[in-house]
Amino acid sequence: MQDFLPINKKDMKKRGWDCVDFVYVIGDAYIDHPSFGSAIISRLLESRGYRVGIIAQPDWRKKESIQVFGEPRLGFLVTAGNMDSMVNHYTVSRKHRQKDAYSPGGQMGLRPDMPTVVYSNLIRQTYKHTPIILGGIEASLRRLAHYDYWSNRVRRSVLMDSGADLISYGMGEHSIIQIAEALQSGIPVEEITYIPGTVFKSKELSRVYDPIVLPSFEAVAADKKTYAESFNIQYRNTDPFTAHPLAEDYGNRGYVIQNPPALPLTQQEMDDVYDLPYREAWHPVYDSMGGIPALEEIKFSLTSNRGCFGGCNFCALTFHQGRILQTRSHESILKEARKMTQNPDFKGYIHDVGGPTADFRQPSCQKQLTKGVCQNRQCLFPEPCKNLRVDHSDYVSLLRKLREIPGVKKIFIRSGVRFDYVVADKSPVFLKELVKHHISGQLRVAPEHVSNQVLHYMGKPNHQVYEAFLKAYDKENQATGKKQYAVPYFMSSHPGCTLKDAVKLAEYVRDLGFTPEQVQDFYPTPSTLSTCMYYTGIDPRDGTPVYVPRDPHEKAIQRALMQYKNPSNRKLVLEGLKKAGRMDLVGFGPKCLIRPERDGKDNNQRTERTSSGHKASSGKRTGRTIRNTHKKKTRK
């Protein structure tokens, strides 16, 4: 168990195996680190006595590439990897990305689009009856009919297109062990219909108790209102304590049936998962290829939690990890940190201690552990629930213990602090320690927008909450005598965002003297509430219409407004101001965004302080924000 899992028959023979129980086919390169789902699932199966062979990034054009181990005794496991392949391959403008961080040397082209479908069909061509189980985020978020941004249509469940037998959705530890035990006991895969956290196919509904029958695939593909209604039912059934089975009708092909989610891991189960014998490295076969860039990002980071009750509408966590917080014990995290300090590449800096949201360390309220999360309300939005437990004391205690480990010089918090949760905390201790110990000049925060209308559709708190956080953040920086800045992330073109809202954001950027080098355009990824709004123009929660900026030209205008000082954006900015009725922002006054043209020349000339230290004549640098996101890199 101290070695990498076999990647070929030679490795398999070294272990004295004549065959493997499971062949794990992965769209990513093989990295044996607990930040990668394939490493967790394969090591977990190994710990239960199952023999697992790894086929990473097979050549999908050749059947031989998935025949490396021959036919497995129990089945094939298939995952696209740590990211949805389409997000991995394409920008929001549907252009090919230049690098794949999950492939050797960052090389593109080592996996197909939609590997879960392609790999499964390749397997099925060769092994007609061997069970195929899908997992990972791509399969999890495409488990029922879903809008696919890249083809601009509603696609069927990935289970229908792939020819696979089951989907293990969500984080998968509970369900994959139950699936393995069922197959080991001789139960045919078509009879495995009872496991929480799985999706299966059935010709009839008799195999499931008390299901909610969703609109048929034909209905949701033909009518956007029906799609929104179906999505809302799914959105309300993502909790393991209250969810019903869901059945989606595919006509003469039967039903795709989703069982309720698996129960969240207990703290002991989380500790056991992270105590498995990971090599915490990429497979040596990649050494000569430049290694795997994605590992460098998280090699010296610590996962402390899973799940998120933040409820951002553009985030897929509700459908994948769920809203119930799961945490590792301090002892488990400290053990990993001490081991980290023995790594010869460790320089004394822990890059992160967190998860989806760094400062969440317990469920939002006590009832979630027995009754689940509320179906019709959020914990933090539109304002904190009266039952919300706001307490950073456990996280502060953990960080203090980590700082005391010999060899640790500094610990950064990079996975995101939920600023409205910080504001809701009556104790200033966490913010004090955050400012004093865990920032290196800049704190990344995600207000996303300044228009309360847009924030409503994002599921984010009103802008006044962010302003309150900045005020408290400034106060703590002044108390410590530090000059540290908040680096805000903003998003353009989210559903509900009009040109007037985009101009309002540009004015805010102007007043801060802040020039974003990059702008995040809203990306409609599978199975988010915001993506449902993008496709349908309907808020699925109440059926009300939502304005959606879909036109690429308008999206370009919204992006340009946030970077109005860039001369190449001038025409788009001018067009946006005209359409928004804000020509008062064209002129020579201090509040104007661009200068009028004179003698056919562009007079939009302003100087500003940049990262190279050039003089600034517009905007005011404060402790609240950093002027330019082209910033010095956080020390690692």
DSSP string, 573-606: HHHHHHHTT-GGGBSSSTT-SBPPPBTTB-----
More confident residue, 608 or 504: 504
Provide the mean pLDDT of the chain. Answer: 92
Structural domain containing residue 193: 9-258
pLDDT per position as a tens digit, 231-286:
999 999 999 999 999 999 999 999 999 999 999 999 999 999 999 999 999 999 99
- Give the pLDDT score at 377: 85
Which residues, 6 or more positions from 172, have their beta carbon under 8 angstroms from its beta carbon? 37, 41, 135, 197, 262
Task: Tell whether 343 and 434 lie within a shared domain.
Answer: yes
The domain boundary, picked from 410, 444, 464, lies at 464
Assigned domain for 36 exists:
yes
Task: Tell whether 328 and 241 lie within a shared domain.
Answer: no
> What is the percentage of the chain residues whose pLDDT exceeds 90?
87
Task: Tell whether 142 and 36 lie within a shared domain.
Answer: yes
Specify the number of domains making up the chain.
Answer: 3
Parallel/antiparallel/unpaired status of strands 132-135 and 146-148: unpaired
- Give the pLDDT score at 629: 36
Closest CA to 559 of 89, 99, 92, 86: 92
Q: Which of 35-39, 126-130, 269-273, 514-518 has the lowest mean pLDDT?
A: 514-518
Task: For residue 132, give both structure tokens.
Answer: 């195929």
- Give the pLDDT score at 634: 34
Task: Tell whether 434 and 521 lie within a shared domain.
Answer: no
Report whether 312 belongs to an annotated binding site: yes
3-class secondary-structure state, position 527 = coil
Task: Tell whether 519 and 422 lie within a shared domain.
Answer: no
Task: Tell whether 236 and 308 lie within a shared domain.
Answer: no
Task: Tell whether 101 and 237 lie within a shared domain.
Answer: yes
Assigned domain for 283 exists:
no
Using CA atoms, how far apart are residues 1 and 47, in angstroms rounded to an integer? 8
Residue 621 has pLDDT above 60, yes or no: no
- Across the range 571-588, mean pLDDT stands at 96
Residue 111 has pLDDT above 80, yes or no: yes
- Give the pLDDT score at 519: 81
Bond prior to 382 in cis (omega within 30° of 0) = yes
Assigned domain for 603 exists:
no
Task: Tell whether 453 and 499 lie within a shared domain.
Answer: no
pLDDT per position as a tens digit, 465-480:
999 999 999 999 999 9
pLDDT per position as a tens digit, 559-578:
999 999 999 999 999 999 99
Confidence of residue 227 (pLDDT cuts 50, 70, 90): very high
Which residues, 6 or more positions from 280, have their beta carbon under 8 angstroms from its beta carbon? 32, 33, 34, 299, 343
The domain boundary, picked from 258, 285, 314, lies at 258
Bridge partner list, 349: 410
3-state secondary structure 284-350: HHHHHHCCCHHHHHHCCEEECEECCCCCCCCCCHHHHCCCCCEECCHHHHHHHHHHHHCCCCCCCEE
Give the predicted TM-score (pTM) of the model: 0.91
Residue 610 has pLDDT above 60, yes or no: no
Task: Tell whether 434 and 347 lie within a shared domain.
Answer: yes
Assigned domain for 408 exists:
yes
How many Cα atoms sit within 13 Å of 281 on the Cβ side?
Answer: 15
Confidence of residue 601 (pLDDT cuts 50, 70, 90): low
Do residues 23 and 55 lie in contact, with contact meaning Cβ atoms separated by under 8 Å?
yes
pLDDT per position as a tens digit, 192-218:
999 999 999 999 999 899 999 999 999
Closest CA to 169 of 193, 134, 207, 194: 134
pLDDT per position as a tens digit, 428-475:
999 999 999 999 888 989 999 999 999 999 999 999 999 999 999 999
Residue 616 has pLDDT above 70, yes or no: no
Residue 626 has pLDDT above 80, yes or no: no
Report whether 374 belongs to an annotated binding site: no
Task: Tell whether 457 and 497 lie within a shared domain.
Answer: no
Do residues 512 and 74 lie in contact, with contact meaning Cβ atoms separated by under 8 Å?
no
Assigned domain for 2 exists:
no
Using CA atoms, how far apart are residues 225 and 532, in angstroms rounded to an integer? 10
Q: How many CB atoms lie within 10 A of CB 198?
A: 29
Using CA atoms, how far apart are residues 415 and 149, in angstroms rounded to an integer? 27
Report whether 532 belongs to an annotated binding site: no
Confidence of residue 605 (pLDDT cuts 50, 70, 90): very low
- Give the pLDDT score at 635: 34
- Across the range 503-528, mean pLDDT stands at 90
CATH number where 434 lies: 3.30.750.210
Closest CA to 634 of 331, 240, 345, 351: 351
CATH number where 212 lies: 3.40.50.280
Residue 613 has pLDDT above 60, yes or no: no
Assigned domain for 628 exists:
no
Any idea what the Cα angle at residue 82 is, between residues 116 and 354, rounded to 5°? 155
Task: Tell whether 510 and 428 lie within a shared domain.
Answer: no
> What is the percentage of the chain residues whose pLDDT exceeds 70?
94
- Give the pLDDT score at 264: 94
Task: Tell whether 39 and 133 lie within a shared domain.
Answer: yes
Assigned domain for 81 exists:
yes
- Give the pLDDT score at 300: 96
- Give the pLDDT score at 515: 79
Assigned domain for 276 exists:
no
The domain boundary, picked from 444, 464, 484, lies at 464
